[in-house]
Amino acid sequence: MLPRFDVAGEGVFGNVGMKQTATHCPYCSLQCGMHVQSIQGEHAGKHWIIAQRDFPTNRGGLCQKGWTAADLLADPGRLLAPLVRDRPRGSLRPATWEEALDRITGAIRNIQKKYGRDAVGVFGGGGLTNEKAYALGKFARVALRTSQIDYNGRFCMSSAAAASLKAFGIDRGLPFPLADIPLADTILLVGSNVAETMPPVMQYFQQQKKRGGSLIVVDPRATPTAAVSTLHLQITPGTDAALANGLLHIAIKAGSLDEDFIAARTEGFDLVRRIASSYWPSRVERITGIAEQHLTRAADLLGKVKTAMILTARGPEQQSHGVDNVLAFINLALALGKAGKPACGYGCLTGQGNGQGGREHGQKADQLPGYRRLDNLEHRAHIAKVWGVGEEDLPKPGRSAYEMLDAIGSEDGVRALLVFGSNPAVSAPRAGHIEKRLDALDFLMVSDFFLSETAERADVVLPTAQWAEEEGTMTNVEGRVLLRKRATTPPRDVRTDLEILHALGTRLGCGGGFPSEPKDVFQELRRASAGGAADYAGITYDRIEREDGVFWPCPSVEHPGTPRLFLDRFGHANGRARFHAVEFRPPAEEPDQEFPLYLTTGRTIGQYQSGTQTRRIPALMQAAPNAFVQIHPSMALTYGIRQGEQVRLTTRRGSATLTAELTPAIRMDTLFVPFHFNGTERANLLTNPALDPVSRMPEFKVCAARLEKGRPC
Ligand code: SF4
């Protein structure tokens, strides 16, 4: 028997007092609403239960990760005190907060004195709350006065963000609420396996199907999402722009364009039309591996209906031409007149918990809060005023995430790195090289709740509070700002990241600028974002609670928020969306004699990101215990590889040892490896750090690989 609560509050289970807190899941960008129930009295702080919450996004649904999220709160591997390392390669030992903080500020001062301000870098995360992302950006620019700050969201949504800014003038994952999905006649879902990565969202696609809608899934694998689609386009990895241009070519020929919409609400179509003319179906079939009749069917399903949506995720985005890929799909949506109208639009399914908010408030190398830009004088002046510093004191834009890590050890690279909520030793491309770069640092600090693979290499590790132990806002995939409420207190010697930034700021002489209370930080964030593209000025904690979240932009407390963007005008000054001419360019690395197969990477249902959290949860480890490589049975036969056998996978970056999983669900020429695992199972030992020229996104989704039977690393 479980305790019953109708709303958040106190309750009783037998004779034990219980408290129920309405909050959100710690993991992905759906940010499912959930209740955390905690036992009060003498057993307080030991037992928590996750319970359903009827919230508008997940409507009570949770995936296995959500259901087991509370297991981490009392995990025995939890960091409960700061750790410091006395000498290079010595072991970490427990220390007091005083000692740990002194070590950090001592290292910052020494290194900046010797090598300059940019010798200290900050590496943030897309899972941090808006308040932390904001405070981290401010800490880098005001307390450290370094230009060197970026975050792991650069590895996640940066290509879609850059493309949306170019095309629409505003970047918000979905420009409409999830509730609009069932209203679309056709949905083109490119490079996303939502049935496994965010299962509760499938209810919207199921509703859409029930209403008679069509779902087209583009993926090199026949995933569980593809299994419920109307049409699966099993694309050759890295050929997304050719597909989008090819669909546009067919749509033009079929007379499916919305010429009135193009004339009234867009600019720049002529060149795009000319380029599309050279993507005739047989050529596109040769490039993408998708049969002509499927291309025609997809173009008709999109072009011959009243409403359609095009949604992309990491598949087309995590490529060295990720921005172009997304722009090509946006071109298609605009040309068909399927944007800026009810039940229509282009959207990006963000990945990390705060993938959206994390990219709006200043932890990106080129960015200031409210989606302002560091290279814009007006923007700099506004933020400098809020922060009480001179505009000229704000640093210039710095290096992107991979470039900052890669430059460690070079003459002008960072020598000290402060990492918050990120594990680049597992999540960065070419991870073997990145490990060496991290080891080349003079000083590494990591704030985390577990000893991640990055924390293991640190000079100082700070134990930080988990999601249920602190308050803060998150902005979900829809642009809905949510409140994560504190359900329990952190262990005695554990601090929140805001408390850590406050303590470090105080030691560096600007503590007043770094409040440790989330609500105080949010008040400042509201002022800083006011008038920016991502305007949070009218959003308060009370409103979020009362209204089940508030959609930005929300410029005043009287404003209702903006669930649907672009219905009247797009975000550019003239209100028009912009086409961008895109030619298909092959990926940075294609299969050849030495490395004859495509390798692509992604997520599995039971794990999350670098696995620091989910690899500790027994139920999830049972579901997804280790890394594997998916191989088509015919390909396995040519190598003599059997199901379950250990195989070695090699690229130009390194090798990994993986368990062979034979499945006809993958293309013959392609291998798939999940990226949540560590050691010699790390997918990112293999991935290619070739960067998109605009978004600086690495090419996680495609490289050339060689498969070998029975040669463990
Ligand atoms: Fe958490 Fe995402 Fe699963 Fe929802 S779908 S329970 S937010 S991991």
6 contact partners, CB below 8 Å, separation of at least 6:
none
For a mutational test of ligand 1's pocket, the pick from 24, 27, 354, 484, i.e. the residue with the most ligand atoms closer than 8 A to its C-beta, is 27
473 contact partners, CB below 8 Å, separation of at least 6:
129, 130, 131, 357, 481, 482, 483, 484, 518, 522, 539, 541, 544
Q: 25 CB less than 6 Å from ligand 1?
A: yes
Indicate which atom in ligand 1 lies nearest the CA of residue 58: 4
* Model pLDDT, residue 625: 80
Please tell me the distance from the alpha carbon of residue 435 to that of residue 409, in angstroms, as a whole number. 12
Please tell me the distance from the alpha carbon of residue 421 to that of residue 496, in angstroms, as a whole number. 11
Q: For the chain, list residues with pLDDT below 50.
A: 1-6
Cα of 576 vs centre of ligand 1, distance in Å, is 35
**3-class SS of residue 187:** strand
Indicate which atom in ligand 1 lies nearest the CA of residue 198: 5
**Distances from the Cα of 407 to the Cαs of 118, 332, 602, in angstroms?**
12, 38, 26
**3-class SS of residue 550:** strand
Whether the ω angle into residue 553 lies within 30 degrees of 0, i.e. cis, is: yes
For a mutational test of ligand 1's pocket, the pick from 34, 65, 484, 603, i.e. the residue with the most ligand atoms closer than 8 A to its C-beta, is 65
Structure-derived torsion over alpha carbons of residues 422, 629, 606, 199, reported in degrees to the nearest 10? 100
Q: 65 CB less than 6 Å from ligand 1?
A: yes
Q: 31 CB less than 6 Å from ligand 1?
A: yes
Listed in order, strand segments (DSSP E) in 612-687 are 628-631, 646-650, 655-662, 670-674
Indicate which atom in ligand 1 lies nearest the CA of residue 25: 1
**3-class SS of residue 123:** strand
Backbone dihedral angles phi then psi of residue 659, each to the nearest 5 degrees: -85, 130
Q: 58 CB less than 6 Å from ligand 1?
A: yes
Cβ proximity of 345 and 357 under 8 Å: no
**3-class SS of residue 183:** helix
Cα of 34 vs centre of ligand 1, distance in Å, is 10
* Model pLDDT, residue 351: 79
**Tokens for 161?**
């963000």
494 contact partners, CB below 8 Å, separation of at least 6:
79, 80, 449, 463, 464, 465, 469
Cα of 65 vs centre of ligand 1, distance in Å, is 6
**Distances from the Cα of 43 to the Cαs of 46, 70, 77, in angstroms?**
6, 15, 20
Classify residue 14 as left (phi > 0), alpha (psi -120 to 50) or beta: left
Please tell me the distance from the alpha carbon of residue 25 to that of residue 199, in angstroms, as a whole number. 13
* Model pLDDT, residue 2: 45
* Model pLDDT, residue 712: 66
Cα of 613 vs centre of ligand 1, distance in Å, is 14
Cα of 200 vs centre of ligand 1, distance in Å, is 7
Cα of 417 vs centre of ligand 1, distance in Å, is 30
Q: 62 CB less than 6 Å from ligand 1?
A: yes
Q: How are beta strands 33-39 and 48-52 bridged, if at all?
A: antiparallel
Cα of 430 vs centre of ligand 1, distance in Å, is 28
| Nearest residue (CA) to ligand 1, atom 2 | 28
**Distances from the Cα of 705 to the Cαs of 286, 627, 649, 652, in angstroms?**
21, 16, 7, 8
Please tell me the distance from the alpha carbon of residue 519 to that of residue 500, in angstroms, as a whole number. 16
pLDDT in tens, 117-138: 999 999 999 999 999 999 999 9
Cα of 96 vs centre of ligand 1, distance in Å, is 35
Please tell me the distance from the alpha carbon of residue 532 to that of residue 549, in angstroms, as a whole number. 19
| Stated pTM of the model | 0.95
Cα of 469 vs centre of ligand 1, distance in Å, is 18
Cα of 550 vs centre of ligand 1, distance in Å, is 20
* Model pLDDT, residue 390: 96
Cα of 128 vs centre of ligand 1, distance in Å, is 16
Cα of 609 vs centre of ligand 1, distance in Å, is 12
Please tell me the distance from the alpha carbon of residue 486 to that of residue 448, in angstroms, as a whole number. 18
Residue type present at position 156: C
**Tokens for 280?**
């005739």
**Tokens for 614?**
């989910």
* Model pLDDT, residue 711: 65
Greatest CA span in the chain, whole angstroms? 74
* Model pLDDT, residue 679: 78
Q: How are beta strands 308-312 and 345-348 bridged, if at all?
A: parallel
The half-sphere exposure of 659 on its side-chain side, counting CA atoms within 13 A, is: 10
Handedness of CA 484, 137, 397, 443 (dihedral sign): negative
Closest CA to 156 of 624, 640, 601: 601
3-class SS shares of the chain: helix, strand, coil, % to 5: 35, 20, 45
Cα of 371 vs centre of ligand 1, distance in Å, is 26
Q: 217 CB less than 6 Å from ligand 1?
A: no
3-class SS letters over 203-270? HHHHHHHHCCCEEEEECCECCHHHHCCCEEECCCCCCHHHHHHHHHHHHHHCCCCCHHHHHHHEECHH
462 contact partners, CB below 8 Å, separation of at least 6:
82, 100, 445, 446, 447, 448, 495, 500
Closest CA to 587 of 328, 319, 329: 319
**Distances from the Cα of 298 to the Cαs of 128, 238, 244, 341, 421, in angstroms?**
38, 19, 10, 21, 40
Q: 198 CB less than 6 Å from ligand 1?
A: yes
Q: Kind and range of the H or E element at 406?
A: helix 401-406
Indicate which atom in ligand 1 lies nearest the CA of residue 66: 6
**Tokens for 61?**
């649904």
Please tell me the distance from the alpha carbon of residue 518 to that of residue 544, in angstroms, as a whole number. 14
Please tell me the distance from the alpha carbon of residue 283 to that of residue 707, in angstroms, as a whole number. 29
DSSP state of 65: H
* Model pLDDT, residue 3: 47
For a mutational test of ligand 1's pocket, the pick from 23, 25, 54, i.e. the residue with the most ligand atoms closer than 8 A to its C-beta, is 25
Indicate which atom in ligand 1 lies nearest the CA of residue 197: 5
255, β-bridge pairs:
none
Residue with tokens 């368990």: 659
